Amino acid sequence: MAETTTIQVKQSTKEALEKMKIYKRETYNEVLERLLEEIQELNEETKKEIELARKAVKEGRYITHEDLKKEIDF
């Protein structure tokens, strides 16, 4: 059996985790593992997007706020 531990969370946190369950018998551990996996995936995606944006700026593919304001007659 997997090693387990106990953590303290606010009642509101427990209620939020309960609402995030995909199915009734899903454990809080499963909910947390799923959330952590999603965050890690988002972090990797965000890192790629940041790198693409940096590359675009280096290549001069961007528009300043002032130019954008002029373009949309703001």
Neighbouring CB atoms inside 10 A of 16's CB total 12
Lookup: tokens for 74: 């703001």
Count of structural domains, the chain: 1
Q: Is residue 31 part of a domain?
A: yes
Is this prediction's pTM over 0.75? Answer: no
pLDDT of residue 14: 97
Domain that holds residue 67: 11-71
Residue 23 · residue 12 · CB < 8 Å: no
Exposed, middle or buried by CB within 10 Å (0-12, 13-18, 19+), for 54?
exposed
Q: What is the pLDDT of residues 9-56, one digit of tens each?
A: 999 999 999 999 999 999 999 999 999 999 998 898 899 999 999 999
Q: Is residue 60 part of a domain?
A: yes
Lookup: tokens for 35: 């959330």
Residue 35 · residue 20 · CB < 8 Å: yes
Q: Is residue 2 part of a domain?
A: no
